[in-house]
Amino acid sequence: MKVLKFGGTSMANAGCIKRVKEIVLSDPDAGYVVVSAPGKREAGDAKVTDLLYAAFRAVKAGQAAADAFLPVRTRFDDIVGGLGLKMDLSAEYDGIIERLDRGTTADYIASRGEYLSAKVMAAALGWTFCDTKELIRFDDAGRFMAEETDVLMKKALCGRTRLVLPGFYGADEAGEIRTFSRGGSDVSGAIVARAVLADMYENWTDVDGFLMCDPRIVEDPELIGMITYKELRELSYMGANVLHPESIFPVRKNDIPINIRNTFNPAAPGTLIVPTKKFFKGEFTRRDSTVTGIAGKKDFFAIFIEKSMMNNELGFARRVLSAIENKGLSIEHMPTGVDTLSIVIDGTGVEPETVEDILAEIVKTCRPDVIDIVRDIALIAVVGHGMLRKKGTAAKVCSCLYRADVNIRMIDQGSSELNIIIGVDNADYEKAIACLYREFI
Residue-by-residue DSSP string for 364-430:
HHH--SEEEEEEEEEEEEEE-GGGGT-TTHHHHHHHHHHHTT--EEEEEE-TTSSEEEEEEEGGGHH
Return the pLDDT at 288.
74
pLDDT band per the 50, 70, 90 thresholds, residue 415: low
Mean pLDDT (whole number) for 164-181: 95
Number of DSSP helices (H) and strands (E) in the chain, helices first: 14, 16
Indicate the helix (H) or strand (E) that contains 344. strand 340-346
What's the pLDDT tens digit per position in 42-95?
999 999 999 999 999 999 999 999 999 999 999 999 999 999 999 999 999 999
Half-sphere CA count of 48, side-chain side, radius 13 A: 31
Q: What is the dihedral of CA 96, 97, 102, 107, to 10 degrees?
A: 40
Q: What CATH number does the domain located at 2-207+242-256 have?
A: 3.40.1160.10
Straight-line distance from the first to the last Cα atom of the chain, in angstroms, rounded to the nearest whole number: 35
Return the pLDDT at 183.
75
| Distance from C-alpha of 94 to C-alpha of 89, rounded to nearest angstrom | 9
Residue type, 230: K
Among the CATH numbers 3.30.70.360, 3.30.2130.10, 3.90.440.10, 3.20.20.70, which is that of 293-440? 3.30.2130.10
**Does the pLDDT of residue 202 top 90, yes or no?**
yes
| Distance from C-alpha of 149 to C-alpha of 140, rounded to nearest angstrom | 14
306 touches 340 (CB < 8 A):
yes
Across the beta sheet with 137-138, the strand order is 137-138, 169-172, 177-179
Return the pLDDT at 388.
73
240 touches 295 (CB < 8 A):
yes
**Does the pLDDT of residue 383 top 80, yes or no?**
yes
Return the pLDDT at 50.
97
**Percent of the chain's residues with pLDDT above 70:** 98
Return the pLDDT at 275.
92
Q: What angle do CA 45, 46, 48 make, to 5 degrees?
A: 135
Average per-residue pLDDT for the chain: 93
Residue type, 237: Y
Structural domain boundaries of the chain?
2-207+242-256, 293-440
Give bridge partners of residue 293 from the DSSP assignment: 383
**Does the pLDDT of residue 241 top 80, yes or no?**
no
CA neighbor of 298 nearest in space, from 359, 182, 384, 217: 217
| Distance from C-alpha of 39 to C-alpha of 48, rounded to nearest angstrom | 6
What's the pLDDT tens digit per position in 300-344?
999 999 999 998 899 999 999 999 999 999 998 888 888 999 999
Return the pLDDT at 368.
95
Return the pLDDT at 337.
85
Q: What are the two backbone dihedrals, phi and then psi, of residue 32, each rounded to the nearest 5 degrees?
A: -140, 140
Q: What's the full length of the chain, in residues?
A: 441
295 touches 238 (CB < 8 A):
yes
**Does the pLDDT of residue 431 top 80, yes or no?**
yes
Return the pLDDT at 203.
95
**Does the pLDDT of residue 23 top 80, yes or no?**
yes
**Does the pLDDT of residue 245 top 70, yes or no?**
no
- Fold equal for 2-207+242-256 and 293-440: no
Its pTM stands at 0.86
